[in-house]
Structure 1
């Protein structure tokens, strides 16, 4: 849950209604609370249905809520958004492979060998994405963030995008500069996720507090059992 103000008493009461309240974690910058619960209890708590679906464009199965979560009046004024009730939106790397992250780290070390580098990894989900940016802002260890992953902005749920925007803005207010890959698909960023050729941009490179880098990206070519990297 992404928070817009702090009412600890109301939030504690709300979390007490969720199974395994000990699982709740408050982000270091106190802008979000992460917790777990059984599907049945989450459906009851947020007044939603949860189901399994098939994305016909990609052939990928995913779970999702069938309506927007409804919050109790006691916390509706302090909670800005709820993230993590589905796993439909997933991030892709600019170079179409997880090796892109390793290549980015190598480039940073080559360009600024004396600089301290920190690598943040998170679950490939909306909840994982939010947790990562909250952690970066909370740690206050870096001044520049390079982001390899992204997804079609249109496929990013508005609540998740808004929560991530707030987390990035928190880091920006601390003096952190964010740079993100704009993707390898130009103005048709949704093509890789749903086959669409409509005009679309990549998120989070489209975020107002992020500088999109169209030059990021790499491709791997396998030649006679070996691997050639082209950045």
Structure 2
């Protein structure tokens, strides 16, 4: 507190996803040192806070667009600190075959509270609910048509932003799969879509990267991210 304006203003405006008590901000772990809190973009006040932050940041860095990442939301652990309570929301009778067999794995506890209700019901909308406020904020900050790229999306996200297919690998099979993924996302209503050309993980080869650059010239969103 008192050292990072986005946090201080967000705390003042009450824009965070909260723990199950509906009051205490959910604190997890992401890339920055220390704990991270999570803006609740289903809350109208969060759009006000986010717009103000984007406009102020334009004075620091003259950007043209914003890439919003880690917005599943991502958390480097199983639920926020100090962990998830043992209840039916966090541990429902049926759990899909996912990593660690926990709905909180690498994200927040399902019983966390958002403006629209339990995180259990709004988790898949986190990236979607962030994309439109970001689009509006970038347009206000730049005075131009906004460019927004989001890692997490939902049906309809394509109205306000683009997407890429995530952290792929420098392998021929990932080059091939990118064609399928891009066609699928067009069906989902997200036409501005691409893959990390040459692969994100592992070292690429000359031949693979050459062929991937050729294929990538046909991606709607074309970016080498090796």
TM over 0.5: no
TM-score for the superposition, normalised by structure 1: 0.33
TM-score for the superposition, normalised by structure 2: 0.33
* Structure with higher strand content: 1
* Structure with higher helix content: 2
